[in-house]
Each structure stands twice: as C-alpha cells, then as structure tokens.
Amino acid sequence: MKFDVIIIGGGLAGLTCGIALQQQGKHCAIVNNGQAAMDFSSGSLDLLSQLPDGSAVENFADFYPHFAEQVPHHPYTLLGKDQVLAKAEHFEQLAQSLNLDLLGSHKENHLRVTPLGGLRRTWLSANSVPTLPLSQAEFPHKRIVVLGIEGYHDFQPQLLADNLKQNPQFAHCDVSIGYLHIPQLDQLRNNAREFRSVNISQVLEHKLAFGELVREIQQAAGNASAVFLPACFGMSDNHFFNSLKQATGLNLFELPTLPPSLLGMRQRKALRDHFEKLGGVMLNGDKALRADIEDHQVKALYTQLHQDDALYAEHFVLASGHYFSSGIVAEFERVLEPIFDLDIIGNGDFDNGNRLSWTRDRFSAPQPYQSAGVKINEKCQVQKCGEILANLYAIGSVIGGYNNLELGCSSGVAVVTALTVAEQILAGGK
C-alpha cells in the first residue's frame, strides 16, 4: 500500500498532523496501535505551565526569552516563538471548527480545578470543566456541592471539597458533598473492575431513565448554585452532559476521574472521526516494527499486520509517544527509539550511555530520564547516527530534550510540532 504520508501513532499529535494534511489534499494513513495518552488525560491542553526554575507562566510570549535560555533543546526553542504562537493559534481555530468545545487562548493561561481540588495553569480546557481567569479573585458561585456516585472510588468528593477550600479563589465558598445512588448502576457495583467511568457512562446513556437522573441530581444539589460531578456522563461527546445541564436547570460542571478519562476520549474520537471523514485511513490494531532506510530516507515501513507487504510513502511522521505508549523504551544499558533506532537526546545531565545519570536521589524531583527522546532539528526532522533522515519527522512527546511533566507543555508540543510538520510536508519537505 502506498500513501502520501504515513503517521505512526494515533494520539493528539498524529491526528492533528493527519487532519492538517488531509485538509490540503494529502492521502494519509495512521498506524494506530491502540489507546493513546489522550484516553487517560484530563481533557485540558497545556502550552507551557511553568519554567524549569519553577516560575509560573502567565502567557507564553512574555516568558519565552527566559524559557528558551533555560531549555535550549526544547522543540519550542528550536522552532522559535513566532512559529509556536502561530501554530497554537492555528490549533485553536481547528478545535473551534471541529466543535471540540474548548475554552482558553494562547495569549494567557487560565486556572482549572483538578480532581483533587487544586488549581492548575493550563492553555485550553473543556468548557464543562470549572475554570477561572488568572486575574479573577473569586469563583463566581458561592454555594458549591460536589456530587460523587455511591460506590464509585475513582472520584473522591470529600478530598476534593477539603482541598478546594484551601485555594484563595474558593475561600468564600460554602462547599458541601453528596452522593448519587442511581440504582441502575447496582450491577456494576458488584464488580469493582467494571465500575469505571466508561462503564458508568454506557449504562447512563443507554439504559437509565433520563428523568430519574435529572430528579436525583436536583434533589442532591439542594440550594447549591454550582454542582461538580465526575466526568461519567457522555462517552462519545458532551451531548448527554449538556442535556443534563439543561434539564436540571443547574450550573453543572464535570471533573476528570482516575483514568480512563472520558474528557480525553471524547476529544480523540472527534479528531479521529474528522480525520476519517476527510478520507484518512486508520490502520487500527497495528504496530510499526521496522523500516527500510536508504540514502538517508525511509523507503518502506513494516508493521505487525504488514510484515511481508510493506507500506510506502513519500513522507513518514513518528508520533509514537513516550514511555507510556512505548514510543521510547528504556533498556538496561540505554534509552532507545525502537522502530528506527534514532539518535536520543535528553536535558541537563542526562547521558544515554550512563545509567546512573538517568535518575536523581530525590524521588519527587524531575527525573532526567523523563527528558529522553529523539533528536530533531528546526524542521522536526530526526537524526540517525548523526545524519538527518530527510523524509522522517518526529512530533509530540517522542521528541527529547525537555521534561513535559515538569514544564506542563505536552499537549502544546504535540499540536505545535504536528502543524509544523504538516506545513513542511505541504511545502515539499524543503
């Protein structure tokens, strides 16, 4: 099979790149091994939350000079401020056109409420999540009730409520808790392994009398002006949740639960559906294994389902993720990229040949191994044995040189590099 572009990885980076290319007439295939990190995410997208020195980032543009100085190998530093901001704005427009229901702007971060009752700076959030502008001193609702689901342990109302009141923006609030019983979930309660957000959502959408749920939420909410719920209401999209909000007449908000996360799953489904609607091909349940490389170019890709019948393309994009999805693998002697065996780079004292440099003594400190990934240039082209592979690009968290957990930039890197590579390929790869 031959395509214009083959993308390895069906997460945020791979789907964003594929959509941008399909919109401009390129024929793309995505090799999708299974669940992506999006399925376990909060549903919020970070552009840059803090600097390595711990400084909290209010807006990307103002903090960029300090950032670039502290993280010289970060993809943002290689691409430059103007390119990052342009691609962040491009993604905002794309998200709006796909009705992803995200709020926020690259011009300024905002605060979102976390499942543990903290406040985290972020770039874009689902519009169903409780958020505040950085400049807002108080949450607009004074009486809040946090409603859990009886027997559901992936969401802890009491812990959330206790922590929430520690934040100055919620100090004026009266925060109480309650539980929804929902008898139709009794069968799930008998098996803890099945009592997860996905299973609950399926039952609520397809088996429960809608009116009963509405009345139970209204009764549990009492006189509260805002109701926080676990994100268990609507797996495919937020239509069911919006219907609940309208029917109850309450200010309902939803918060991500322990993984899997319906908020992230909704976003990936919307992106995947649009990619396929544009004519893109999803090679689901397949895994890239190896490639033929000649004259510093990838000629063919072999996968688990196509070990004898190679996949051919003019351009290849590596969007295979980090350790979570085995895009990067740590062996005893070295960290490696398993498909192409590309050059690896880290940040700070990380030395791929010295295992003792991979970790720090303090467990909670940012660990050097977390910054390991493939090395790219300013066009997101990768290197193998010090040589650029002209038609192979890397996007998203497979790229090394920075710690996305420490900086809060994983989603931003994914979409910025994805749209940058799409732009490079559409320009002829020059």
Report the CATH number that the domain containing residue 397 is assigned in CATH. Answer: 3.50.50.60
Task: For residues 232 and 316, state if they share a domain.
Answer: no
pLDDT bucket at 142, cuts 50 / 70 / 90 = very high
pLDDT bucket at 183, cuts 50 / 70 / 90 = confident
The answer to the question of residue 300 being in a domain is yes
What is the pTM (predicted TM-score) of this model? 0.95
Looking at 255, 290, 320, the residue that finishes a domain is 255
Q: Find out whether the peptide bond into 260 is cis, omega within 30 degrees of 0.
A: yes
The predicted pLDDT at position 156 comes to: 96
Task: For residues 82 and 27, state if they share a domain.
Answer: yes
Task: For residues 250 and 182, state if they share a domain.
Answer: yes
Quick check: helix, strand or coil at residue 184?
helix
pLDDT digits (tens, 9 = 90+) for 67-117: 999 999 999 999 999 999 999 999 999 999 999 999 999 999 999 999 999
Q: How far is CA 269 from CA 232, 239, 263, 372, in A?
A: 16, 14, 10, 29
What is the residue range of 54's domain?
Answer: 2-102+280-428
The answer to the question of residue 97 being in a domain is yes
Q: How many domains does the chain have?
A: 2
The answer to the question of residue 110 being in a domain is no
Q: Who has greater pLDDT, 425 or 206? A: 425
The predicted pLDDT at position 430 comes to: 52
The answer to the question of residue 342 being in a domain is yes
Nearest Cα residue to 411 out of 20, 28, 41: 41
β-strands 329-330, 306-318: how paired?
A: unpaired
The answer to the question of residue 115 being in a domain is no
The predicted pLDDT at position 34 comes to: 82
Looking at 255, 290, 307, the residue that finishes a domain is 255
Task: For residues 235 and 285, state if they share a domain.
Answer: no
What number is the average pLDDT over the span 165-191? 92
Report the CATH number that the domain containing residue 229 is assigned in CATH. Answer: 3.40.50
pLDDT digits (tens, 9 = 90+) for 247-274: 999 999 999 998 888 999 999 999 999 9
Task: For residues 328 and 206, state if they share a domain.
Answer: no
pLDDT digits (tens, 9 = 90+) for 329-349: 999 999 999 999 999 999 988
- Does 429 have pLDDT greater than 70? no
As a whole number of angstroms, the distance between CA 418 and CA 91 comes to: 10
- Does 227 have pLDDT greater than 60? yes
The answer to the question of residue 41 being in a domain is yes
The answer to the question of residue 335 being in a domain is yes
Task: For residues 311 and 247, state if they share a domain.
Answer: no
% of the chain surpassing 70 pLDDT: 99
Contact 371, 401 (CB under 8 A): yes
Task: For residues 293 and 421, state if they share a domain.
Answer: yes
Task: For residues 188 and 61, state if they share a domain.
Answer: no
The predicted pLDDT at position 207 comes to: 64
Task: For residues 248 and 354, state if they share a domain.
Answer: no
